[in-house]
Structure formats: structure tokens, C-alpha cells
Amino acid sequence: MLFLRMGPRFLFIRSDEIEEVKNFLINHLEGLNIQLPGGLDVATEDSTLCFLTEPNKEKTLVEDAKEIILVNEVSSVCLSEIINSHIEKWVHRVDMGPSWMVMRVAGDEKKIMHRLVEDFQGELVNWEDGICKGEKGDTLLTLTHKPINSVLGEKDLIFPIILLPHPASQIYKKLRIEGTRFITQNLKEGQWYELRINIYDSSGKYQENYDRLIHILSKLELGMILGETWTKDHALALFSVLAYQIRLFTYCTPHEIKKILMGLEYTLEGYRLVDYDLYYRNKKISWVDIEKKKGKRRKVDESKIYREELYTKLTSKDIQFLESIEEKLT
């Protein structure tokens, strides 16, 4: 489970020949002309945001940048290409901005945000102030509830962001060790859950249903798999069936995981694919317990709702992969 990674790096390039430098970054390094903050939606941890300003600027305000170019290469590659291509004659000075780090959190984001500010002597800022105030030895830390193994857009980030007066290497080492403690202390019930998921398919297509489940657990970064084994599931009194069991360690509540499993049991058209039974503390979690509702209820109808919710958390590529497996099951 990934909860911490680097973001793009900021590079401030001072030049009298801004148009020439811009054209070099776009044509030679396949850069993209962007605006902040919307342009961050296409940046990855391997990207560099190049702010092109006039030579007389010592501290860069976002509004001072004549051009902002996003290059999908790390900053060291950008600098080496500038030198090796002999365009340094156009460059008066280059300054490194603060590092950027992304941390996935759960629970009360405001509580963990203020805890991080207190522990690392940081301050809460917006993008513009963070870029202006941050030095090369500082770190901008952004929080998110979303999985961080893919590109995160501005809408996925929690604001304000945190400016920390420490280098990224120091922050990374500390959070890599203590990050789970920050998360745990801010969970609603202050604990993680060890769950058991039993896969049962009367048609015997366990591999396909295992692949679907693992794909979703991985893409949504829902936790860590502690073990897998074949087991007997007592579906009815005095009657047992063979099931494949996965032990999951997660900060998501049993009801949150049950919603996802429900969304995978049926297609949007209502075709039943598999049974994913969930157990917590040796108790089976029933679908009727997810939400307390009165009146007549149909599992297939509520599964469709959870399937639609699941799709909002996935990319189109992930949905396509999921449905390609399901075609073999229907």
C-alpha cells in the first residue's frame, strides 16, 4: 500500500530570451505550456515545472512567470539538456524551488494537517505562496484521500497545502517510518481492520474472480494482503463449499469494503458473477447492514448503486480491464 510519493519539481529559469528558452523546452523536451493551478492535473512525480522569468527576479511569484512549461522529465534531465544543447547562453540563472511531496491520508484531514504543521514546524499556504516562500531546501506537502499511484488532479488534493522548512529527503525518511501512525491516529475508530474475503463461484471460475478483486484492491490501494488460502465456507447449516480466502489488512471499515465487494458481485445489467463473502472478527458482514433502510430491498439493485460508485473511483482504463475479464464470466 502506497501512502507517500514525490510530486513534480519546480525550476526557475531567469532569461532575457524567454521565447527561445520556451521553444527549446517545448520542441526539444516535449514540454507543455500550462497555467497554474489547472496545469498540475497532468503533472507526475517525474515532471518538472519550469517557470520562465526575467533575470532581475530573485524570488519567483507565480504572476511573475512569463511562461510556465511542464516537462515530463526530472529536473536533472532538464538541466543537463540545457547544458548539452548549448542554450545556456540564453539562461542568466537557474534556481531550484521547493520539493513537492504527496501523502495519502484517511480520517479527519484537518486534524492530521495541523499535526504535521506542529511536528515539522510548517505553515499552511496556497500554491502561490508556497512557490514564492519555498526554498530549494523546503518541501511542499499536499494531502489527498485518493490513491497516489497515478496522476492526481487539483480536485483530488486537500487544501491548504503545507510548507515544511525541511528537505524532502528528511521528510520522506520520517514519514516513511511514522506515516502509518499519523493515519491511524486520525481514523474514526483509531484502528486498522483485518478482514477475510471468501471467493465462491459455482461455475469454478476462481482465477477470473480473483484477478478482478486483486485488480480493484491494488488500483484503489485499499490495504495489504496478509495471506491467501483455500478454505471451507459454511453457506448453510450442515453444508459447506470450497472457497478461496484472502486476508486483507486495511484502514477502510468493513462496510466500506463490503460496498466494493457488492459492486463486483453483479454487472450493471444485474447479472450475478460471484459471491464475495466478507468476515470481520469471525462475523459475516451482511449486505443489509451496510445501510439501514426500511421497506423492500433487493440486493441486485443496491449492488448496481455500489458498482456505479466504484466506477467513479476508477480510470477508464481500469474499467475497461475489469469489464474485459467479466466478459469471460457472462
- Specify the CATH number for the domain of residue 263: 3.30.70
In the chain, the number of structural domains is 2
How many other C-beta atoms lie within 10 A of the C-beta of residue 300?
Answer: 14
Q: Give pLDDT, residue 63.
A: 86
Where the chain has pLDDT below 50, the residues are none
Starting at the edge strand found earlier in the chain, the sheet holding 139-144 runs 4-6, 99-104, 139-144, 157-164, 123-125
For 78, the domain range is 4-185
Residues 199 and 180 in one domain: no
Residues 205 and 152 in one domain: no
Strands 283-284 and 275-280: antiparallel
Q: Give pLDDT, residue 238.
A: 59
Residues in CB range of 155: below 8 A, 6 or more apart = none
Residues 57 and 109 in one domain: yes
Residue of 279, 310, 91 whose CA lies nearest to 194:
279
Q: Give pLDDT, residue 284.
A: 93
Residues 34 and 178 in one domain: yes
Boundary-marking domain end, from 162, 185, 208: 185
Boundary-marking domain end, from 121, 152, 185: 185
Q: Give pLDDT, residue 191.
A: 85
Boundary-marking domain end, from 185, 212, 240: 185
Angle, CA of 68, 78 and 141, to the nearest 5°: 65
Residues 62 and 137 in one domain: yes
Q: What length does the chain have?
A: 330
Q: Give pLDDT, residue 151.
A: 83
